[in-house]
Structure formats: C-alpha cells, structure tokens
Amino acid sequence: MSRNVDKANSVLVRFQELEAEKSGGYKDYSRFKRPTSITSIKDSQEAQQWRRQVIQDINSKLTRMHDPSLNEIQLRELNDELNNLFSEKSRWERHIRNALKGPDFTRDKTFKFTGTMLKGRRYFGRALELSEVQELAKADSERRTKLQSTRQRQHALQSKIKTWEKTLGPDYYGFLPNEGKNFKLPLSINRETVVDLLTSDPEEESALSQYEEEWTLNYRSDLGGQDVIKKPEITIPSFDYVPDQKEMERWLVERRKMQLQKQLGL
C-alpha cells in the first residue's frame, strides 16, 4: 500500500481536485504556494483564503516561539518571520478591502494577539527574553514614566492655577481692603469692564502705587533730579469706545503683516 503522500500527489487525486474546482469551486489551498504578488489576485474569496493561510502560519510560529529548546539565533529568525507574516496579513487585508471591495478585516477582533510593540517591531514569546529586547523594553518604560510624570506636573499646575483664580483677592493686585469690597477679577475682559476700570476714581491710592511713587522719588533724588518735590499728576482719560477682542486681533494681524512687508521690501 502506498503512503498518504503518494496518494495525495497521485495523478488521479490531482485530476479530481481540478474537476472539483471547475464544477463546485472547491480548491485545496494548502497544496498550493501562496502568491507573492498580492495584487495579482482578483477574486475576493481567494484572497480571503490566502489570508487564512497567513493566519495559520502565524499561529504555528507563535506556538514555536515558546519552545525552550530554541537558541537566541533561532528566536531572532523566528521573530523576524512573524513580523513579515503580520506585514503580509496587513497587505492582504488592505487589498481585500480597497481593491476587491471585500470585508474590512482590520476591525476583526477575533485575532487579537499582536505581540509587544517596541520601536516599531513586534516581539513574541521568548523573544522578549533577549538582551537587546530587554534594553528596548526598559527604555520604553522609562519614556512612559517620564511622559506620565510630565502629564502629572501639567495637571498639578492647572489645578494650582484654578485654585489661585479662586483664592487670590484684591490685595494681591495692590488694592486696599476698602477698594476691593466690590472688586472682582474678570475672567474674560470685555469693553464695559475696561471702561469701568479706566474711568473709576478710587478714594485713595493703593498701597502698591504709593510704594512705587515713593521709590521713584528716592531714585530721582539719588540721581539729582529737579522735580523731586513735585508729585506727578496722573490723569485717567475717559474712553467713549473700546475695541473688542476680535477688532484687536484684526488690528494685530494687519500690523504684523505691515511689519513683514516692510522687512521683505514688498
């Protein structure tokens, strides 16, 4: 009696397979070599069959990656083969979706295991025990920790800013207690608020302005100024119209445009 391989390769079996493919569309893809040119396949069902073959190869090699008898060279080669198979799987899926208008396998969650991604490459099984892979994993862990700490510092700073906005009173900005009774720091400055702040007449000077004026007089005295005794008069103009934020933005854009044109000689 002949062996099973001889039976499978016999002329009669091959003839029966060709007849089954012509009549019923059956084809034993395991007996054929997977095409290297993916774009040459014009049938969606055939492309899906070749994709299944790639997944079978991936599963078998993933099982081998846990073999304790493999040395480092074999692990590296097997890991490279798995990366190539995952790349081929992605090409088949793009070809089926885009060119053949077939199903979108990129959203298929049945095949979830994709390995550990480090520096754009996947590592599987015992390949994670390799020295160079452990160095990559350590560097990636440090990078994630640093990024996380940066995000935590930014979050803490934002929390402090919100606390300052709520807790800092008028005295922080140089107003006396009687000046700050009805004072509220506006979060968004509008034209009414600007007019009120500029045209208001405080009953007495703030501590901050008084401190600045005293030191200004002292510095002028040290420099030999002539107007030491004369106190400067401060006049707050009244504004009939204050531009809003959009008008100021347009004015700034036009001003910057004129400066650039002047620098470029346009």
**% helix, strand, coil for the chain, step of 5:** 65, 0, 35
Question: Does residue 219 fall inside a structural domain?
Answer: yes
Question: Does residue 19 fall inside a structural domain?
Answer: no
Please indicate, yes or no, whether residues 90 and 38 belong to a single structural domain of this protein.
yes
Q: Is residue 125's pLDDT more than 80?
A: yes
Q: Is residue 69's pLDDT more than 90?
A: yes
Question: Does residue 9 fall inside a structural domain?
Answer: no
Instruction: Decide if 118 contacts 136 (C-beta within 8 A).
Output: yes
Q: What is the token pair recorded at 60?
A: 């078998």
Cβ neighbours for 17, distance < 8 A, ≥ 6 positions apart:
26, 27, 28, 31
Q: Out of 127, 155, 182, pick the residue that ends a domain.
A: 127
Question: CA 35, CA 202: separation in Å to the nearest integer?
Answer: 87
Question: Does residue 108 fall inside a structural domain?
Answer: yes
Cβ neighbours for 106, distance < 8 A, ≥ 6 positions apart:
93, 97
What is residue 10's predicted lDDT score, i.e. its pLDDT? 65
Rounded mean pLDDT, 240-258: 85
Please indicate, yes or no, whether residues 140 and 102 belong to a single structural domain of this protein.
no
What is residue 6's predicted lDDT score, i.e. its pLDDT? 58
Question: Does residue 259 fall inside a structural domain?
Answer: yes
Number of domains in the chain: 3
pLDDT band at residue 135 using 50, 70 and 90 as cut-offs: very high
Kindly state the percentage of the chain with pLDDT values over 70.
63
Q: Is residue 229's pLDDT more than 60?
A: no
Q: Out of 167, 193, 221, pick the residue that ends a domain.
A: 167
- Residue 102 is part of which domain span? 33-127
Please indicate, yes or no, whether residues 123 and 155 belong to a single structural domain of this protein.
no
Most confident of the ranges 40-49, 71-80, 148-157, 204-213: 71-80
Q: Is residue 230's pLDDT more than 80?
A: no
Q: Out of 95, 127, 159, pick the residue that ends a domain.
A: 127
Please indicate, yes or no, whether residues 151 and 205 belong to a single structural domain of this protein.
no
Please indicate, yes or no, whether residues 179 and 234 belong to a single structural domain of this protein.
yes
- Mean predicted lDDT score pLDDT of the chain: 76
pLDDT band at residue 75 using 50, 70 and 90 as cut-offs: very high
Alpha-carbon separation of residue 162 from 155, 180, 265 (angstroms): 11, 20, 46
Q: Is residue 1's pLDDT more than 50?
A: no
Please indicate, yes or no, whether residues 206 and 160 belong to a single structural domain of this protein.
no
Between 151 and 219, residue with greater pLDDT: 151
Please indicate, yes or no, whether residues 218 and 152 belong to a single structural domain of this protein.
no
Question: CA 20, CA 25: separation in Å to the nearest integer?
Answer: 6
What are the residues facing 121 on neighbouring strands?
118
Cβ neighbours for 213, distance < 8 A, ≥ 6 positions apart:
205, 231, 232
Please indicate, yes or no, whether residues 158 and 177 belong to a single structural domain of this protein.
no
Please indicate, yes or no, whether residues 117 and 48 belong to a single structural domain of this protein.
yes
What is residue 257's predicted lDDT score, i.e. its pLDDT? 87
How many other CB atoms sit within 10 Å of the CB of residue 18?
Answer: 11
Please indicate, yes or no, whether residues 44 and 61 belong to a single structural domain of this protein.
yes
pLDDT band at residue 214 using 50, 70 and 90 as cut-offs: confident
Rounded mean pLDDT, 207-230: 64
pLDDT band at residue 2 using 50, 70 and 90 as cut-offs: low
Measure CA of the first residue to CA of the last residue in the chain; give whole Å: 95
pLDDT band at residue 89 using 50, 70 and 90 as cut-offs: very high
Q: What does DSSP assign to residue 65?
A: T
Question: Does residue 27 fall inside a structural domain?
Answer: no
Please indicate, yes or no, whether residues 149 and 105 belong to a single structural domain of this protein.
no
Between 208 and 266, residue with greater pLDDT: 266
Q: Is residue 172's pLDDT more than 90?
A: no
What is residue 71's predicted lDDT score, i.e. its pLDDT? 94
Question: CA 265, CA 257: separation in Å to the nearest integer?
Answer: 12
Cα 16 to the chain's mean position, in Å? 56
CATH number at residue 39: 1.10.287.660
Cα 159 to the chain's mean position, in Å? 23
Question: Does residue 22 fall inside a structural domain?
Answer: no
